[in-house]
Amino acid sequence: MILANADLVLPDRVMRGALHLEGGRIVALTEGAGVPAGAEDCGGDLVMPGLIELHTDNLERHIEPRPKVKWPHPPAILAHDAELAGCGITTVFDALRVGSLPSRTKGNYAEYARGLADEILDLRAAGVLKISHFLHLRAELCSETLEAELARFAPQDGVGIISLMDHTPGQRQFRDLDQLRTYLFGKYGFTEAEFAAHIADRQVISARLGAAHERAAVATAQRLGARLASHDDTTAADVARSAQHGTSFAEFPTTLEAAAACRAAGIAVMMGAPNLIRGGSHSGNVSAEVLAQAGLLDILSSDYVPAALLGAAFRLADLWGDLPRGLATVTAAPADAAGLADRGRLAVGLRADVIRLARHHGHPLLRGVWVAGARVA
């Protein structure tokens, strides 16, 4: 098929032309506003690579749509898949937590990743998913079961990313205990006594198991051939440790100091699209816009709002006055960070994962989504 008379978003410019797709690949890009016979006339709409999402918790929202309400996994996965396709996301790394606290009575969380991963992989093998799904294991260092859960994954699972997540109170995302208090009181109805006990309990777990869990997660990434990501780096010392591990990208650094240290260490910085759209972090951490203005933002993630990804990329494009650069934060940059050399750009030979869109009062309006040349939305 041919998408003609379109503004093609190339890595370094926007070109009026036509995109030729065949056999699931991009086979040609031609310049000009002509519309060959049988082509789809895009009428000047933008055509760009499909979006690549490296870290989203959206699937968890579908399997537990309300607190303590469990939804059957296959239809939840299919609904998640359709939602992402409808947002222009053509590749996703589904972020599944590994590392649980089954013995705790309040604020506990149980193991689920291995079973859910099997269900995702089964649906993928059956060819019923609209977009490309890969696995991202969120390794929770402050947990009881991380090593055992990691051991249940093998190279044939195709785990693409392992992120090191440490939610021990008093550091990283939860360095501000007042922010943690607000979160736990709101989500679990903690009392002050329970909150104090929670902090002491988690700090004991971290002191006892955190270092061993960190070593196990780094070793598992090497064993599985997965890219390693840090999470919530806060200080230059955090970043130095991430660099020693061979981290490819940093998820949601919480301070300007950490983002600058990532840039100096050659670690790509990923921030949340909701942070950019809302104008700040809901956790009181550094604003994504501050990092963008400082030239310290490389990748966007939709995190918990899939529809935010495309809008945030356009906000960056407007902020920087550079459309290809802004849109690269959701296409080429995440592809590079995840080691996906076959997508993320409009170039001959790459996968025909593309989207067509216009802008309505400044907001992106999707008109079509193709994955490997097949229309999915």
Domain 51-342: give its CATH superfamily: Metal-dependent hydrolases (3.20.20.140)
The Cα 227–Cα 206 span in angstroms is 24
- Mean of the per-residue pLDDT values for the chain? 92
Q: Do domains 1-49+344-377 and 51-342 have the same CATH topology?
A: no
User: Token digits for 309?
Assistant: 């990804």
The Cα 251–Cα 258 span in angstroms is 11
Residue 184: predicted pLDDT: 61
- pLDDT tens digit string along 155-182? 999 999 999 998 766 576 676 666 666 6
The Cα 139–Cα 123 span in angstroms is 24
Highest mean pLDDT among 94-98, 198-202, 207-211: 94-98
In terms of Cβ atoms closer than 10 Å to its own Cβ (0-12, 13-18, 19+), residue 15 is middle
Q: Where are the domains of the chain?
A: 1-49+344-377, 51-342
Question: Confidence band (pLDDT; 50, 70, 90) for 187?
Answer: low
Residue 239: predicted pLDDT: 97
**Mean pLDDT, rounded, for 51-64:** 95
Domain 1-49+344-377: give its CATH superfamily: Urease, subunit C, domain 1 (2.30.40.10)
- pLDDT tens digit string along 260-314? 999 999 999 999 999 999 998 866 789 999 999 999 999 999 999 999 999 999 9
